[in-house]
Amino acid sequence: MPLSHRSCGHIEPLLETFIALGIDILDPIQATANNLDRVRHVTQGRLALQGGVSSSILMNGPAEAIRDEVKRRIRQLGAHGGYFCAPDQGLPWPEAHYAAYRAAVEEFG
């Protein structure tokens, strides 16, 4: 069974430690707390990522901005696999914004 680790905040300095500990999935990867290109570079093929979709954009919208954010994160973090597209925090999202997020994941994921 895959081992998932809750990873809020700035986790870049801990990536190699997480890998050495046998963690399989980091969740959530926070967009504003990390250099997501660096996180993906270090973890590609060694650790799956979940999160990355900015909670600020998901909360505030509009739908087109949410769509663009999802598209960007799927390309950035999931181009070579090992990515679960998800918000970078768990919040009570506006229903229309969450629907836009789900539609974008369906479209690009």
8-64, pLDDT tens digit by residue?
899 999 999 999 999 999 999 998 999 999 999 999 999 999 999 999 999 999 999
Note down the domain range covering 61: 4-108
User: Looking at the predicted structure, is the pLDDT value of residue 109 above 90?
Assistant: no
91-104, pLDDT tens digit by residue?
999 999 999 999 99
pLDDT at site 8:
85
CB 77 within 8 A of CB 49: yes
For the chain, the domain total comes to 1
Residues 6+ apart with CB under 8 A from 36: 29, 52, 73, 76, 77
Q: Please state the pTM of the whole predicted model.
A: 0.92
